[in-house]
Amino acid sequence: MTVTMRDVAKRAGVSVITVSRVVNESGYVQAETRARVRAAIQALHYIPNQMASSLRSRQTRSIALMLPTIANSFWTTIARGVEDEAEARGYSVFLCNTDYDDAKEGRYFEALLRNRVDGIAIVPSEASGPRLRTLQQRQMPLVQIHHKLDDVEADVVRSDSYGAAVALTQSLIDAGARHIAYIGGPLSMSPGRNRLDGFRAALTCAAIADEPDRIKIGNADPNMGYRLVTELTHAGTPIDAVMIANSRMAVGAIRALTELGKRIPEEIAIAAYYDIATLDIYSSALDVYSPVITTAIQPAYDMGRLSVRRLFERIGGMAGPSDDLILPTRIVPPAAPVPGAHNVERLRMPHPVPQDVPVVATAH
Amino acid sequence: MTVTMRDVAKRAGVSVITVSRVVNESGYVQAETRARVRAAIQALHYIPNQMASSLRSRQTRSIALMLPTIANSFWTTIARGVEDEAEARGYSVFLCNTDYDDAKEGRYFEALLRNRVDGIAIVPSEASGPRLRTLQQRQMPLVQIHHKLDDVEADVVRSDSYGAAVALTQSLIDAGARHIAYIGGPLSMSPGRNRLDGFRAALTCAAIADEPDRIKIGNADPNMGYRLVTELTHAGTPIDAVMIANSRMAVGAIRALTELGKRIPEEIAIAAYYDIATLDIYSSALDVYSPVITTAIQPAYDMGRLSVRRLFERIGGMAGPSDDLILPTRIVPPAAPVPGAHNVERLRMPHPVPQDVPVVATAH
DNA sequence: TTGAAAGCGCTAACAA
DNA sequence: TTGTTAGCGCTTTCAA
């Protein structure tokens, strides 16, 4: 029924191991023999059985990418990078979308372990720690993307949150702002912490005191951005600028400001993370105002590619302490608003991939 | 080194096949024996090897989903439906993103065949036909999503393009339009053909002649939408409404109308497909104007779920001729524009999944 | 440069 | 209700 190596071997008049060598391009095979085997493969429409190969060789030629959601282009752009890099090496990718659901993450881990994937690239959640440690006990090669869990010893690939926050904040200061509010995501994850640190460092640098009243932290979603801006303005704290450390919060925050009748940037200047090319349904306000705010855009595609490159190094047996790759975040200065045009071009994702990706810093 | 069924069996004092029965919950095992085996599994941290199981049982418990892109929420919402349905049955999903690249599609097929996935759900491209036929020769269960290739005998799950086009067009006629232009995607694929057919049927029904000048076909992207609207207006054809049969084209088309200074809907009324919750970077114009246009929204999540349900029926050995499931497309009437609000709520995707999905029609 | 033998970890088929 | 035997299709190891 199904065509196996046996059948190919028989037809080519060689042994199965010779067929294996031809298929995998491993070991020595005479050109003439190889041609005969190839002909037999063609004639019989032979397709190697990956299960059998994996069982015997103990490598599946598959990796997994675990993502909190695929409903947002930041994550899917990372996925494309991962996929392209894996595909280039003949690896398949299990794309696991946890939907921010811890139980779902657990079930995925179970499945990946059963499937004996060769390695896992993961955007960990706060609760992933114990699972990642279990994986490491089982010698599973692991790379963390975007978030770094402090108690997990594994390579990390992320963007320069601190530097980007400094640059965004400085752009506001340069524009004359002195009463700068901060809106950002939870401090339980590293990007949240680093962005707040960068904000504070920039203020300190300019000899501006950071007022706790003006720092608002919440979940990274548009509604929270909306709410925090509302809180800020209702409290009556004087504010002439807002630094928003998260794209989704920025969308809600800017909508709130708009509804409050604030002119941007005349009354309130804005600097924000803004790296969703595919904006979500709340996007219009941000899209309309993006020309007049300074934005930070993370190299999502490269984060995906480089994390898998590193993963393959570990799969290949690379030893050494875990590494922390920090990629530069692009800072885009505000442009004059052009009616009808929405500065589309500058927001486009880097589709033609740079062959060599510059790295800002590697820690450790 | 790795813990196998042997080890578990030894510890539990049973044979390997008994362990297999406990793990797979198949066959008869006494409660007391099962408990002993479970204890041994826990104690040894045993995780079944899916490769070995697949090799022997000839089923991998994995399926594939092949998509043209993951950069747009219509497709990722389908993916979520596929994933949830598969997960509920303990299946893993290979998510294959072809990026509209035929060579990439080919490489994916190769990989899926090697991995002996149990079935494939695919959004076929025009060029997929020969590959799908090859798969069928190999008895691979197959479901087509969204597009139906005429020369492929396989189940289809799609939305009611014809009906939605009729409804959209009628909404324009009801609003008093008589010179209605049509902008839509290629007629080489079934949705493109069906939407144009629906448009024409609605005109005929209202005793309005369809002018070839007012029908513009092109690639399904914002730039093309922009260009076709520009062509239409430059040609001087009188137009009081536009039916846009594709979300991405709608975005560009509406922008073009805006830049031309047309008031919507006073000068030109619009009805459009609009089923991207996560809009792309061109979205602002559509988002701003969506309250004043009639929109069609496809049940993407359910398309994913139902296609996999059908796929499992085929994997389970269901015979019978291939089926064509046509799901209803939701038609959302225009709402009065509300400054600051963007009719966000009505565009939200159906996340809590209906247990039983209504079906408009099944052909054949 | 090629091949023979063994076995990866599991389950189908049968037997008890 | 449990076990025995055989073998899925490939690659590792060793030998020629």
pLDDT in tens, A238-250: 999 999 999 888 8
Q: Give the Cα separation of B319 and B121 in Å (integer).
A: 17
pLDDT at res. A71:
79
In which region does residue A74 sit, left (phi positive, over 0), alpha (psi from -120 to 50) or beta (all else)?
alpha
Token pair in block for residue B188: 């080489």
The protein residue nearest C9 (Cα–C1') is: B52
Q: B89 pLDDT exceeds 80?
A: yes
Give the distance, in angstroms, between residue A139 CA and nucleotide D3 C1'.
Answer: 35
And the tokens for A68? 């909190």
pLDDT of residue A229 exceeding 50: yes
**Per-residue confidence (pLDDT) for residue A278, from 0 to 100:** 41
> Tokens 């939305």 map to which residue?
B159
In this prediction, residue A286 carries a pLDDT of 39
CB contact under 8 A, B52 and A55: yes
Residue range A176-182: average pLDDT? 96
Which amino acid belongs to residue A270? I
Residue A114 has its nearest CB partner, among B48, B80, B347, at B48
Are residues A338 and A194 in contact, defined by beta-carbon separation less than 8 angstroms?
Answer: no
The answer to whether residue B126 neighbours chain A at the CB level (below 8 Å) is no
Residues at the strand D interface (Cβ < 7 Å): A 2, 4-6, 16-17, 20, 23-24, 26, 48-49, 52-53, 55-57; B 14-18, 21, 27-30, 32-34, 52, 55-56
- Please state, in angstroms and rounded to a whole number, the distance separating the CA atoms of residues B112 and B132: 12
Helix/strand/coil percent split, chain A, to 5: 45, 15, 40
Average per-residue pLDDT in chain B?
Answer: 85
Q: Given a cut of 80, is residue A307 above it in pLDDT?
A: yes
Find residue A272's DSSP bridge partners.
Answer: A244, A295
Query: Taking CB atoms and an 8 Å limit, are A278 and B71 in contact across chains?
Result: yes
Q: What is the DSSP string of A210-264?
A: PPGGGEEE--SSHHHHHHHHHHHHHTT---SEEEE--HHHHHHHHHHHHHTT--T
Contacting residues of A for B76, CB less than 8 Å apart: 70-71, 76
Which nucleotide minimizes the distance between its C1' and the CA of A58?
A: C8
For residue A96, report the phi and psi dihedrals to the nearest 5 degrees: -110, 120
Question: A97-115 pLDDT, tens per residue?
Answer: 999 999 999 999 999 999 9
pLDDT computed for residue B101 by the predictor? 94
Specify the pLDDT at position B266: 86
Nearest to A104 by CA among B79, B51, B301, B83: B83
Confidence of residue A340 (pLDDT cuts 50, 70, 90): very low
Sheet holding B269-273, edge to edge: B215-217, B180-184, B241-244, B269-273, B294-297, B330-332
Q: What is the pLDDT of residue B350?
A: 27
Mean pLDDT, residues A9-26: 93
* Measured distance CA(A92)–CA(A83) in Å, rounded: 8
The mean per-residue pLDDT over the stretch B26-55 comes to: 93
- pLDDT tens for A314-330 read 999 998 999 999 999 98
Measure CB to CB from residue B284 to each of A70, A83, A284 and give the nearest one: A284
pLDDT on residue A1: 63
Output the distance from A56 CA to C7 C1' rounded to whole Å: 8
CB contact under 8 A, B344 and A282: yes
Interatomic separation, CA of residue A2 and C1' of nucleotide C13, rounded (Å): 20
User: Alpha carbon of A12 to those of A32, A38, A53: distances in Å?
Assistant: 11, 9, 21
Task: Report the nucleotide nearest the CA of residue B116, measured to C1'.
Answer: D9
**Side by side, which strands form the sheet with A92-97?**
A92-97, A62-67, A119-122, A142-145, A155-159, A324-327, A361-363
Answer whether residue B362 shows pLDDT above 60: no
* Strand blocks (E) in chain A: 62-67, 92-97, 119-122, 142-145, 155-159, 180-184, 215-217, 241-244, 269-273, 294-297, 324-327, 330-332, 361-363
Per-residue model confidence (pLDDT) at position B66 = 97
Inter-chain CB proximity B281 and A278 less than 8 Å: yes
What pLDDT, in 10s, does the model give residues B71-81?
778 899 999 99
pLDDT for the residue numbered A335: 57
pLDDT given for residue A232 in this prediction = 93
CA distance B132 to B143: 10
Distance between CA B143 and CA B155 in Å, rounded?
A: 5
Evaluate whether A248 touches A255 at the Cβ level (below 8 Å). no
CA gap B55, A118 in Å, rounded? 18
Put simply, the chain A residues between 281 and 320 with a CB less than 8 A from any chain B CB are 281-284, 287-288
Is the pLDDT at B1 greater than 80? The verdict is: no
Which bases of chain C are contacted by protein, using any atom under 7 A from a CB?
A: 1-5, 7-13
Residue B143 has pLDDT above 90, yes or no: yes
CB-facing half-sphere around the CA of A298: CA atoms within 13 A: 30
Residue B222 has pLDDT above 50, yes or no: yes
Helices (H), chain B: 5-12, 16-24, 31-44, 50-57, 73-88, 102-114, 129-137, 161-174, 190-205, 222-234, 247-259, 284-289, 300-315
* Mean pLDDT score, B144-167: 95
Distance between CA atoms of residues A271 and A331, nearest Å: 10
Coil/strand/helix, residue A279: coil
Specify the pLDDT at position B276.
60
In strand D, which positions have an atom below 7 A from any protein CB? Answer: 1-5, 7-13
Is B52 (CB) below 7 Å from strand C? yes
Of B120 and A290, more confident: B120
Q: Does the C-beta of A321 come within 7 A of strand C? A: no
Q: How sure is the predictor about B292, in pLDDT bands with cuts at 50, 70 and 90?
A: low
On whether the CB atoms of residues A60 and A115 are closer than 8 A, the answer is: yes
DSSP B327: E
Q: Give the closest-approach CA distance of A188 to chain B in angstroms.
A: 27
Judging contacts by C-beta atoms under 8 Å, the chain A residues touching residue B284 are 283-284, 287-288, 342
Specify which residues B273 forms β-bridges with.
B296
Nucleotide nearest to A55 (CA to C1'): C8
Distance, CA of A91 to CA of A73 (rounded, Å): 23
Residue A25 CA and nucleotide D16 C1' are separated, in Å, by: 22
| Residues in chain A, total | 364
% of residues, chain B, pLDDT over 70: 87
The answer to whether A3 and A47 are in contact (CB under 8 A) is yes
**Helix ranges restricted to H, B45-114:** 50-57, 73-88, 102-114
Mean pLDDT across chain A, nearest whole number? 85
pTM of the shown model: 0.88
Q: Which residue of A has its CA nearest to B112?
A: A92
Q: Report the distance separating Cα A283 and Cα A251, nearest Å.
A: 6
Q: Would you tell me the crossing angle of helices A161-174 and A190-205 to the nearest 10 degrees?
A: 40
Q: Which residues of B are less than 8 Å from A280 in CB distance?
A: 277-279
Interface residue B76 vs chain A (CB under 8 A): yes
Answer yes or no: is pLDDT of B339 > 50. Answer: no
Cβ contact A14 with chain C strand, < 7 A:
yes
CA distance B170 to B153: 33
User: Which of A188, A192, A189 has its CA nearest to residue A164?
Assistant: A192
- Please tell me whether any atom of strand C lies within 7 Å of the Cβ of B161: no
Q: How far apart are CA A46 and CA A7, in angstroms?
A: 9
CB-count exposure of residue A188 (10 Å: 0-12, 13-18, 19+)? exposed
Predicted confidence at residue B133, as pLDDT, reads 94
> Are B343 and B335 within 8 A, CB to CB?
yes
Find all residues with CB under 8 Å of A52, minimum gap 6, and list them.
B55
Specify whether the CB–CB gap between B195 and B245 falls below 8 A. Answer: yes
Query: What is the distance between the alpha carbons of residues A327 and A325, in angstroms, rounded to a whole number?
Result: 6
Q: What is the pLDDT of residues A55-93, one digit of tens each?
A: 999 999 999 999 999 877 889 999 999 999 999 999 999
Nearest to B92 among A71, A111, A340 (CB): A111
Q: Is the alpha carbon torsion for B20, B21, B25, B30 positive or negative?
A: negative
Mean pLDDT of A92-97: 94
Mutate to test the interface with B, among A50, A80, A247, A290 (most CBs of B within 10 A): A50
Separation in Å, CA of B252 to nearest CA in chain A: 12
Tell me what the mean pLDDT of segment B230-259 comes to: 87
A292-296, A304-308, B207-211, B247-251, range with greatest mean pLDDT: A304-308
DSSP B259-279: HTT--TTTTSEEEEE---SS-
Grade residue A8 by pLDDT with cuts at 50, 70 and 90. Answer: very high
Hey, is the C-beta of A55 within 8 angstroms of any chain B C-beta?
A: yes
Our measurement of CA A5 to C1' C3, in angstroms, reads: 14
* pLDDT for the residue A276: 60
Distance CA B310, CA B121 (A): 10
Cβ pair B129, B190 in contact under 8 A:
no
Contact residues on chain B for A344, CB-CB shorter than 8 A = 281-282
pLDDT of residue B338: 38
Q: Among partner residues A114, A278, A284, which is closest to B287 by beta-carbon distance?
A: A284
Query: What percent of chain A clears pLDDT 90, i.e. is strictly above it?
Result: 67
Of B55, B255, B340, the CB nearest to A52: B55
> What residues does A247 pair with on adjacent strands?
none
Q: What angle do CA B222, A263, A249 make, to 5 degrees?
A: 60
Does A343 contact chain B (CB < 8 Å)? Answer: no
User: Which of A69-83, B33-47, B154-168, B330-344 is the least confident region?
Assistant: B330-344
Work out how many CB contacts closer than 8 A connect A with B. Answer: 139
Q: What is the pLDDT of residues A131-148, one digit of tens each?
A: 999 998 888 999 999 999
A chain contacts of residue B279, beta-carbon cutoff 8 Å: 278-281, 283
